[in-house]
Every structure is written in structure tokens, then in C-alpha cells.
Amino acid sequence: MSRLVLKDEIIARLAGTIQQISCQTGEYVQEGETLFVLVSQEGETIPVISRVSGKVGELEVELGEDVIAGMILTVVYMD
């Protein structure tokens, strides 16, 4: 029997640079927790927040990396 896995893709809403990474692969996070902080091209600091509680998947970005709008930063697997 297969198990249904629910996940939420955490994406960058705007283009910018990853300024902070506040989570690790395998870590359990809560809904509303800040996972990343990015700085937009206009210099605005933007928190990237988890919309669900669950376990963080593999991080797809590194500190200081430039990202584009819509880029997947990680996935949170819901319980």
C-alpha cells in the first residue's frame, strides 16, 4: 500500500539574494516559522515563512546565492 505524502514547496516570491537560512534538512518546523530571509534587488528584506508544520526537505539554495522569483528553496513535508 502506498503512503500519501503531502508537501509544501517553499518558493522565493521575488528575485533577490539569500541573506539568512534558518532551517536545516530534516529539521521539524512550525507553521509561520521563518525559514529564509532574502534581500530583494531593491534592498528590501523579505522573510520566507513556512505555511505548514512539518519536516524540512533538502535545501536547494546556499547562503549568498541569488534566486529568481518562483524558485523552489526547499520543501516542507507535512505530518
Residue 26 confidence (pLDDT) above 80: yes
Tell the residue number behind the cell numbers 534566486, with chain if given.
67
| Ramachandran category for residue 32: left, alpha or beta (phi over 0 → left; psi -120 to 50 → alpha) | left
pLDDT at residue 5 is higher than 90: no
pTM of the model: 0.91
CB contact at 8 A, 51 and 31:
yes
28-67 tens-digit pLDDT = 999 999 999 999 989 999 999 999 999 999 999 999 999 9
